[in-house]
A and B are shown apart, each in its own frame.
Chain A
């Protein structure tokens, strides 16, 4: 029992160290691409942008819309007690734009694309394709990891923006139904609740979240060995770790933003 606990702790430590090493390797590979842009696999980037970005729009739009609805509804019930219904707009704007829009997007993308990345790379690894690349002289990092990381870092801010817009629309619809706030009034109030950084604080997190999700899932994919059992296990772990890391990063961002006062 004690031995198992100890082994578990050591395993976690090793895994953290390995992920940091992988992050370093990814960074090196990315800088190498900057030095030699010819190595960049542009078609692969577009392919992953389509898979992880374009195809995720419907589900993310729907989820953000519903969350906007729910927040406005709950807010309306609470704020009505004080006769402060109109602040629902402010509440929706701040919560969606600063936190929920991008966080939800990151979580959906981690579930959708993070798992896909791990499974794809894992399957490629099982099929000895990674070994084949090495013997031919292709760098698996350049072929498999870099395009995915770049693609996700491009699309996640865009998806986050879609989520922001849809969340606000959801909030607006519910305000109209529940509180009788007309769309014009809603937009007017929205304009007033905008601090210069309200949208920025949300979207600036997106590339960081994207990097976390992409490197975590690619790292897990590269760790797959031999059996399809390990593929399944690591796919699960990839999603769990990615979401966990995203939420930790979000907390760090909150502290940071509070510290610099935006």
Chain B
């Protein structure tokens, strides 16, 4: 994945408001290729809004978003589709299509964006199901019949269907059991290492932050307060960041990491 300037996501001066309430103001952000960036911040700080804005689901009042060197505002229909092929998004609830089975869900992006023959599509689908750690039987089940954690895995499998260059994850480990969450972290790590995927992850899971994130960005007061490694975060004086990383859970996660 040769890059011109090594930037996967570049957001400049983004302002987003809903019904006159400003959620994000003059936000700047840079995510390098092949990097796993975790977004933390108090509830309601606009983490999900930022994610949705970058993939173009929210309107911006101002600012510019570039994903994989493509300016989101300058895309025509075709280049937009081209870009959609290169990213995968996992929503908070998994957002599986409820009228389709898990396998069909994973096939949707493949059928939409590629002209692969039927048997290859099925093979890729089976591969992805195995990759995210779902049992083989889950393929023919409907999302309704799955647990929350399994739905999330299926959502991830769908997001990975086209081997994206960027993965957007909205709270991927929330609602997973600790073992599942750890396996999820491990999976992300290995994907990032082997495929060089860039990961944009909104999370509250301190273990994930310690285990997989190269960098952490803290969102608050409508913009990115600070970015840096986990070690940088611990030195921050900002009260929320301090409480976050030095609270009882923060210490436990850190202990687990160094142990």
CB distance from A95 to the nearest CB of B (A): 41
**B184 interfacial by beta-carbon distance below 8 Å:** no
Question: Which parts of A96-154 form the interface with B (CB within 8 Å)?
Answer: 123-124, 127-129, 131-138
10 further A-B pairs in the complex, CB-CB below 8 A; given A136-B109, A136-B158: A124-B97, A129-B96, A131-B91, A132-B89, A134-B57, A136-B112, A137-B81, A137-B85, A138-B108, A138-B112
The docked-state distance in angstroms from the alpha carbon of A124 to that of B112 is 19
* B108 contact from A123, A124, A128, A136, Cβ within 8 A: A136
Q: Which residue of B lies closest to A135 (CB)?
A: B89
Partner of B91, one of A124, A132, A138: A132
Residues of A within 8 A of B168 (CB): 135
Identify which of A131, A137, A138 contacts B95 (C-beta below 8 A): A131
| A131 proximity list for chain B (CB < 8 A) | 52, 57, 91, 95
Q: Which of B125-174 contact A (CB under 8 A)?
A: 158, 168
Chain A residues near B84 (CB-CB < 8 A): 135-137
Q: Is the CB of A124 within 8 A of B98?
A: yes
Q: Does residue B39 face the partner (Cβ distance < 8 Å to A)?
A: no
The chain A residue sitting closest to B82, CB to CB, is A137
Known interface pairs A124-B98, A127-B98, A129-B98; A135-B57 also in contact (CB < 8 Å): yes
Residue-wise, chain A 10-49 has the 8 Å CB interface mask toward B (1 for contact) of 0000000000000000000000000000000000000000
Q: Which residues of B contact A134 (CB under 8 A)?
A: 56-57
CB-CB under 8 A from A124, the residues of chain B are 97-98
Distance A123 CA – B93 CA, assembled complex (angstroms): 13
A-B contact count, CB below 8 Å?
46
Please state if B89 and A137 are interface contacts (CB–CB under 8 Å). Answer: no
How far in angstroms is the closest Cβ of chain B from A118? Answer: 16
Among A123, A128, A135: residue with most chain B CB under 10 A: A135
Q: Does B55 contact A (CB under 8 A)?
A: yes
Residues on the A chain within 8 Å of B28, using CB: none
Whole-angstrom distance between the Cβ of B186 and the nearest chain A Cβ: 25
Within 8 A of A (CB), among B72-109: 80-81, 84-85, 87, 89, 91-93, 95-98, 108-109
> Number of B interface residues, CB 8 Å?
23
Q: How close is B101's CB to chain A, nearest CB, in angstroms?
A: 14
Residues from chain A with Cβ under 8 Å of B80 in the complex:
137
Chain B positions within 8 Å of A127 at CB level: 93, 95, 98
B235 at the interface (CB under 8 A from A): no
Nearest 5 pairs of A and B residues by beta carbon: A128-B95, A137-B84, A132-B95, A135-B89, A128-B91
Q: How far is the CA of A127 from the CA of B93 in the complex (A)?
A: 7
Q: Provide the bound-state CA to CA distance between A133 and B56, in Å.
A: 12
Alpha-carbon gap, A132 to B97, bound state (A): 8
- A22–B52 alpha-carbon span in the complex (Å): 23
Q: Is B59 an interface residue (CB 8 A)?
A: no
Chain A residues with CB under 8 Å of B85's CB are: 137
Measured CA separation A153–B117 after assembly (Å): 34
Within the complex, the shortest CB–CB distance from B77 to chain A, in Å, comes to: 10
Q: Are A129 and B97 in contact (CB under 8 A)?
A: yes
**B55, B89, B95, B168 pick with most chain A CB within 10 angstroms:** B95
Instruction: Name the residue on B nearest A120 (C-beta).
Output: B99
Distance between Cα atoms of A134 and B87 in the complex (Å): 12
* Contact residues in B for A129 (Cβ distance below 8 Å): 95-98
Q: Which of A123, A128, A133, A138 has the most CB of B within 10 A?
A: A128
| Selected A-B contacts with CB under 8 Å, 24 pairs | A123-B98, A124-B97, A124-B98, A127-B95, A127-B98, A128-B91, A128-B95, A129-B97, A129-B98, A131-B57, A131-B91, A131-B95, A132-B95, A132-B97, A135-B87, A135-B89, A135-B168, A136-B108, A136-B109, A136-B112, A137-B80, A137-B113, A138-B108, A138-B112
Query: Shortest CB–CB separation between residue B257 and chain A, in angstroms?
Result: 32
Identify the closest chain A residue to B91 (Cβ): A128
- Residue of chain A at shortest CB distance from B87: A135
Question: How far is B231's CA from A108's CA once the two chains are assembled, in angstroms?
Answer: 65
The complex places the Cα of A46 from the Cα of B164 at a distance, in Å, of 34
A137 contacts B91, CB within 8 Å?
no
For the complex, what is the distance from the CA of A138 to the CA of B109, rounded to whole Å? 9
A134 to B55, CA, bound (A): 9
- Point out the residues of chain A lying under 8 angstroms from B92, CB to CB: 128
**A251 to B84 CA separation, bound complex (whole angstroms):** 47
